Structure 1
Amino acid sequence: MGQEIIRRESPIEPGRRSRLWIYEDVIHVLKNNNGTKIVEGIMLNIPIQKVEHLSAEAFSKMKNLRLLKINSEKLPEDFINGSMQLPKDLIRGKVQLPQGLIYLSNELHLLEWHGYHLKCIPTNFQLNKLVELRMHCSGIKQLWNGKMNLDKLRLIDLSDSQNLIEMPDLSGAPKLKQLIFRHCTRLYKIHTSLGDLKQLIRLDLNGCKCLKSLPHKISLEALEIFDLGGCSRLKKFPEIFGNMSCLSKLCLSETAIKDLPLSVEHLIGLIELDLRDCKNISTLSNACCHLMSLKILTLSGCSKLDELPENLGNIKGLEKLDVSGTAITGLPLSIVYLKNLEVLSLRGCVGLSSKSFKSS
């Protein structure tokens, strides 16, 4: 019924409707540049193997556009399962802008554009009303220069944007809650303004293989999830400064870190610590034994780790401990105090002997 109400706004010309979601209608409006200020929302799903070319002025007349979503249709299950082959350059549908893009509405609240291939967003586009920015698999190299007024911005997701090299100045986005740069493999520079994000809940840098360092100190008091898994060049985890009691999950798997700072003991709300495949870790900091909320500790694949802290038993709430594939030759006597331990994985610990399990 709602769709019919929208259609009746302009039965003949879709460019005079407030919302556009039918593929043929959206393409008609964008290719003929006959959108109007009446259009407030556009949702476009590009069919697989389809490439649509738009002019630089495709959105120039839609001054009140508040929602723009351009995505590719999902791949068929047969392709995902490996039983179907498609040409690599035409696997997913996409929009091409041969002359670039000169305009986007300053009224945009949500911008989601999968495969946006340009290196930046229009320089005259004001982001002060934007709430969510999602641009997976984009060609963006740098989002913006300098400080922007982003008071309403809550989420930035640039996952799989292979050309992104640095995180922009985020000091103008004090209410940002989620910052997601998963698999941005060329990202190497983190702006110091990251430490100003007092409302940030999720920070996801998983798979950022060129990332070598983070700010020396962090104090993200609202942070709940911090994912650095797969940051294979990251050698040092920053000092914890101030209150970060909300952090419940810290993933450092496959990083190059050698140890954790003593200040990690301030993460009093930490539930899960993932150090899987950290090949440079040879000892586990005693500070970890002060994490009384910890339930899951994953150390599998830490091939240089040859012992566990003697006071490991202090982590009374620990439920799962995975040390498979490590070089440990024994277990600390205090392990008998882990009354809540449900899973203990020792697979591949070739240095262990039966004597290792004798208690005092």
Structure 2
Amino acid sequence: MHDLVEEMAHYIVRGAHPNHPEKHSRIWKREDIAYLCDMGVDAPPMETEALVFNRSIFDVVGLSDVVANMKKLRWIRFDNYLTSSFPSNFQPRELGYLELKESLQKELWHGYKSLPNLKILDLTNSSKLITTPDFDGLPCLERLILDGCKSLEEIHPSIGYHKRLVYVDMSKCSGLKSFPPIIQMQMLETLILSKCHELQEFPDIQSNMSTKFENS
């Protein structure tokens, strides 16, 4: 029954414009993603709000440029994302959820980027990730998951001033040596630093809050 319901939902999404995936609100099918990548920079403005991609299906060239052209994106899920950093024009201001599990990026993007509605950033097991983005550009971020980012060396110091973060998981970040001072993280409830074996000292806390810490 679940498969049937899912198939009906897919049909409804594609039904109005079966040959124009740029007009679909949700994109997940191999042929649709490949079609958009073939269009490249010539692709028209897209109506896409949710994009799901798994590299195990196929490898594509130009996917990051396609994503940059999706101004209405609210949800992105990429597994095993191979490409380099997102381009400078990647700035979906409606984006609320970004999941890049097992990504091979060393950094998400260069410099500062404004994603004012992003609430969840999940980079679980992104083993090549070296540094985090500037959190000043993510003012609504509530959950940050970096579990298993074993190459992570640097956490942008702006995290210590983030007023909306509630949950931060940095367990098994085995290369991490320090966590920036916690200055204004009044909303923080959970900070997980377990199995960060290179962490030289516990974060300096200069803010009043009721927080659950995990460190082992």
Query: Counterpart of 1:242?
Result: 207
Of 39, 42, 48, the residue aligned with 1:65 is 48
1:162–1:184 Cα contact (<8 Å) kept: yes
1:19–1:107 distance in 2 versus 1, CA, 3 Å: closer
Structure 1 segment 1-360 matched on structure 2, within 5 A: 3=9, 5-6=12-13, 8-10=15-17, 13=19, 15=21, 18-19=24-25, 26-33=29-36, 55=38, 57=40, 60-61=43-44, 63-71=46-54, 93-98=56-61, 101-104=64-67, 105-245=70-210, 247=211, 249-253=212-216
What TM-score comes out, normalization by structure 1 length? Answer: 0.52
Q: What per-residue deviation string (whole Å, max 9, x for no partner) do you get for residues 240-292 of structure 1? A: 212112x1x31101xxxxxxxxxxxxxxxxxxxxxxxxxxxxxxxxxxxxxxx
1:69–1:126 distance in 2 versus 1, CA, 3 Å: same
1:99–1:221 distance in 2 versus 1, CA, 3 Å: closer
Note the residue ranges of structure 2 that are not aligned, 5 or more in a row. none
Larger-Rg structure: 1
2:122–2:145 Cα contact (<8 Å) kept: yes
For residues 180 and 42 of structure 2, the distance between their equivalents in structure 1, rounded to whole angstroms, comes to 39
Query: Counterpart of 1:355?
Result: none
The number of residue pairs the alignment matches comes to 207
1:236–1:68 distance in 2 versus 1, CA, 3 Å: same
Q: Secondary structure at the match of 2:137?
A: coil
How far apart are residue 97 of structure 1 and its match? 2.3
For residues 215 and 199 of structure 1, the distance between their equivalents in structure 2, rounded to whole angstroms, comes to 16
After the TM superposition, which parts of structure 1 deviate over 6 Å for at least 4 consecutive aligned residues? none
Note the residue ranges of structure 1 that are not aligned, 5 or more in a row. 34-53, 73-92, 254-360
RMSD across aligned positions (CA): 2.6
Structure in which a larger fraction of residues adopt helix = 2
Q: Percent identity at matched positions?
A: 29
Q: What per-residue deviation string (whole Å, max 9, x for no partner) do you get for residues 56-104 of structure 1? A: 82993452211111247xxxxxxxxxxxxxxxxxxxx243124564231
